[in-house]
Chains A and B, each alone.
Chain A
Amino acid sequence: MIELQHINVSFRNELQKKLFGTERKKVLRDISVRVEKGECLGILGESGSGKSTMGKVLCGLLKPDNGEALIEGENIYSSRKGRKLLRDKISVVFQDYTTSSNPRFHIKDIIGEGITVRERKTKKKIERKEEVARLLTLVGLDETYANRFPHELSGGQLQRVCIARAVACDAEIILLDEAVSSLDAHTQVQIMDLLIELKNKLNLTYIFITHDLTSITYFCDRVLFLNNGRVTEVTKTSNIGAVTDEYALKLLHSIIDFMEEENHAAECV
């Protein structure tokens, strides 16, 4: 459905050795991956490994230096049809929920933006008030939230609003860029359960960017390990214990060790 072929991305180095130098830092190197309809692909890597950059390329916000980003065979960056297809099919939920919603908008306007996107796609007028109430109910909030401002909501509630906005667009693919990372453990599980429920109900495709292995195993069908801008391994989540790549193993062991230490500490308490 959506595919990256030999993608390379580099940024200009801020600290140049020469005056007017043109040194560039490679962020993504020869990335190739394909996401099928209805699946949930997890992208796992440490901070600075290029996960969010890959997400930006996937949702059309960052043109790669070379390589092709395709949706249903159409190039996202060089073909107008591809760009339109991507905009019609993709939506995004960011990690930082505080900057994800315009602080001057009411919740109804934030979700309303997603509804406007759908109206533009279908060229049909949608009854705003009812649709906002329906979407709020869908993400476990009630319609009284519609007239509130973002700062009047908790982090978990605001992230639910962002999910409602993403769903309101009637998108087939939702890119979740560390969408649960900044929430507490209890809210993380609630949001992931909500996402699984929505995926089954609406037959959505997810691209789930995270540095947290636990949420990947809870949530994704496949996992892609990213290290220093390279894909080191792609495997099914059910086979995650059988990874062979050195980096993936190291990452896996460090997380398992951390979890064991955490459990031990909990037992001591």
Chain B
Amino acid sequence: MFKRFLHNKTAVITTALILAIAVLGILAPWIAPNDPYENDIINKFAAFSLEYPLGTDHLGRCVLSRMLFGIRPTLGLAALTMIGTIGLGALMGLLAGHFGGIVDEVIMRVVDVMLSFPSQIMVFAVVALLGIDVRNVILANVFIKWAWYARMIRTGVVQYRDRNFVLFSRCVGMPEHFILFRHLLPSIAADLAVLSSLDIGWAIINISTLSFLGLGVQAPIPEWGAMLNEAKNVLTTNPVQMLTPGIAIVAVVTAFNLLGDALRDVLDPKETQV
């Protein structure tokens, strides 16, 4: 599989780009040219210069430094959201698909209820109920998204649980964990990887949207969505302020989407040349 990954240019380039961004986020305190919180009101909206490579914002803070520090909440929160979503969704989906019967019915009806709500409204409702906080943003995103994963994983499990290779394992008495973790989970892993890499883009946008609306990451913490929120106030006078966080969000989300496409090819063994 690793060989197939290395032979897929899109997979390699997008992974390299995402890893590079993540490393920049980790190393932000050492490579950022300025303090991202330091105000310099005299220098507000400064143009690109050696001291401020991407200029300064409306409070005279270094945009590049804020961009670098902003990687942490943007990617970190998206990753946490996806881990929570996939974890809960996979558990529920596996339970429903594997055990069937009443367990399946109960879980799937809850999923139906969850899917019937408009997702954005639900996020606002959850954040409004729990209060404005980063943890609540993650909880809200997991809360509205787990049902999609539960349904998809349950469908995958049901699709594969009556395949002959699973029946063979049952017939010869292989333990349930072998069937679950060696047959069923890897069979749906490709779909899961593709969907989650596409959805991590959704999570980034969603977290940025919440920050943009003032419900997510709060000022003065640097976050790309929050930076867009601050830039929108000066959209007509200083439109350049929108460019940096805007381009960064588009680039990362596109990278994750392309990675999702590439992973679908990489994880399909039929793509191997004979």
Bits for B142-176, please: 1 = Cβ < 8 Å to A, else 0.
00000000000000000000011101111111100
Query: Given known contacts A149-B272, A151-B270, A152-B274, is B174 in contact with A99 (CB within 8 Å)?
Result: no
Interface membership of B118, Cβ < 8 A:
no
- A149, A152, A165: the one contacting B168 at CB < 8 Å is A165
Does chain A have a CB within 8 A of B220? no
How far apart sit A110 and B182, CA to CA, in the bound complex (Å)?
Answer: 11
Interface of B is mostly: helix
Say yes or no: B164 contacts A96, CB within 8 Å: yes
Chain A: residues with Cβ within 8 Å of the partner, total of 29
* Contact yes or no, B168 A100, CB < 8 A: yes
Q: Is the CB of A60 within 8 A of B186?
A: no
A60 & B171 in contact (Cβ 8 Å cutoff): yes
Task: Tell me the nearest residue of chain B to A153, going by C-beta.
Answer: B274
Check if B171 sits within 8 Å of A92, measured CB to CB. Answer: yes
B229 to chain A: closest CB distance in Å? 45
Question: How many B residues touch A, CB cutoff 8 Å?
Answer: 19
Q: Is the CB of A102 within 8 A of B171?
A: no
Contact A149 B172 (CB under 8 A): no
Q: Which residues of A contact B169 (CB under 8 A)?
A: 113
B269 at the interface (CB under 8 A from A): yes
- B183 sits at the interface (CB 8 A): yes
Q: Assess whether A101 is interfacial by the CB under 8 Å rule.
A: yes
- Identify which of residues 235-274 in chain B touch chain A, using a CB-to-CB cut-off of 8 Å: 269-270, 272, 274
Interface residues in chain A, defined as those with a beta carbon under 8 Å from any beta carbon in chain B = 59-61, 84, 87-88, 90-92, 94, 96, 99-104, 110, 113-114, 116-117, 120, 149, 151-152, 165, 169, 171
Q: Measuring CB to CB, which residues of chain B are less than 8 angstroms from any residue of chain A?
A: 163-165, 167-174, 182-183, 186-187, 269-270, 272, 274
- Sample of 25 A–B contacts (CB below 8 Å): A59-B171, A60-B170, A61-B167, A61-B171, A87-B171, A87-B173, A88-B173, A92-B168, A92-B171, A92-B172, A94-B164, A94-B167, A96-B164, A99-B165, A100-B168, A102-B165, A102-B182, A102-B183, A103-B269, A103-B270, A104-B186, A114-B172, A149-B269, A151-B269, A152-B274
